[in-house]
Amino acid sequence: MKTLKFKTNVNCGGCISTVTPHLNQLSGIDKWSVDTTTPMKILTVETNDLEPEAVIETLKTAGYKAEVIE
The predicted model scores a pTM of 0.94
Q: Are 22 and 61 in contact (CB under 8 A)?
A: yes
CATH: 3.30.300.30, 3.30.450.20, 3.30.70.100, 3.40.640.10. Which one for 2-68?
3.30.70.100
- What confidence tens digit (pLDDT) does each residue in 18-57 have? 999 999 999 999 999 999 999 999 999 999 999 999 999 9
- Whether 33 contacts 44, CB under 8 Å: yes
* Structure confidence at residue 47 (pLDDT): 95
**Residue ranges per domain, the chain?**
2-68
Measured CA to CA, the distance from residue 54 to residue 56 in angstroms comes to: 5
End-to-end distance of the chain based on CA atoms, in angstroms? 16
Per-residue model confidence (pLDDT) at position 70:
80
Do 58 and 6 meet the contact criterion of CB atoms below 8 Å apart? no
